[in-house]
Amino acid sequence: MPEKANRVTADFWFDPTCPWAWMTSRWMLEVEKVRPVDVRWHVMSLAVLNENRLDELPQHYVDLVQAAWGPVRVLIAAEQKHGPEALGPLYTALGTRFHNQGRPNERATIVEALEEAGLPVELADAMDSDAYDERLRASHEEGIGLVGQEVGTPVIAVPGADGERTAFFGPVVTPAPKGEAAARLWDGTLMVASTPGFFELKRTRTEEPRFD
């Protein structure tokens, strides 16, 4: 692991149902190994992001967005009851099931993930409750407010050279780079994201997420 001196914290906002955010999160775990970076996890929500756009979306995506309420509510409940350190392990347990294993977004899957993360299974009750929605919306707005409403998940923020945070959406990549490849992508992402006036690099996706 890189030296403790000069370490920085990367704040990472995710929705656990998004496969592209999952790929980026696995890359960030690699970055922690090869650069002086510590990831701090936060929840954002595709359901919140799209709640006023449902009439514009195809029905299959509307169904996914509506189902996305459950997992983020459980994550926020875990954060509120057990602290922010609960988010990383629970995200890994959920994401592995949703994406690597192709498990359905349903209570049984979430209960298994809670058990793996060492959390009370009763937190699954939050799936169908709005009790934590105020905190969920606040967490979402903190992340999306750094980059604007035209993007999605993930959002990453790091300290900038001038004391202001540098924040960006993505990177969107598959498969998740490892080792020195992960380090090079991190360095390049920070370079372009911290350039004044820089907004976007993009090309058409030609591959589905590869969970290698």
Residues 4-47 have pLDDT tens digits of 557 899 999 999 999 999 999 999 999 999 999 999 999 999 99
Q: What is the pLDDT of residue 180?
A: 96
Look at 110-124, 125-139, 150-164, 171-185 and tell me which has the smallest mean pLDDT.
150-164
Which is higher by pLDDT, 147 or 162? Answer: 147
Q: Answer yes or no: is pLDDT of 3 > 70.
A: no
Q: Where are the alpha helices (DSSP H) in 102-144?
A: 107-116, 133-144
Q: Answer yes or no: is pLDDT of 70 > 70.
A: yes
Would you say residue 211 lies in a domain? no
Would you say residue 2 lies in a domain? no
Would you say residue 205 lies in a domain? no
Please return the burial class of 89, using the count of CB atoms within 10 Å of its CB with bins 0-12, 13-18 and 19+: middle
Q: What is the pLDDT of residue 102?
A: 96
Average predicted confidence (pLDDT) for the chain: 93
Between CA 167 and CA 9 the distance in angstroms is: 12
Range of the domain at 53: 8-193
Q: List CB contacts of 48: < 8 A, sequence separation 6 or more.
A: 136, 137, 140
The answer to whether 166 touches 158, Cβ cutoff 8 Å, is yes
Between CA 64 and CA 67 the distance in angstroms is: 5
Q: What is the pLDDT of residue 163?
A: 66
Q: Answer yes or no: is pLDDT of 1 > 80.
A: no
Helix (H) or strand (E) holding 189: helix 179-193
As for how many domains the chain has, the answer is 1
Would you say residue 64 lies in a domain? yes
Would you say residue 124 lies in a domain? yes
Would you say residue 123 lies in a domain? yes
pLDDT bin (cut points 50, 70, 90) of residue 149 is confident
pLDDT bin (cut points 50, 70, 90) of residue 173 is very high
Check which CATH number belongs to the domain holding 87 and give it. Answer: 3.40.30.10
Distances (CA, A) of 104 to 15, 71, 95, 117: 15, 11, 11, 18
At 144, give phi and psi (nearest 5°): -70, -25
Q: What is the pLDDT of residue 170?
A: 93
Q: Which of 68, 57, 118, 128 is nearest to 88 (CA)?
A: 118
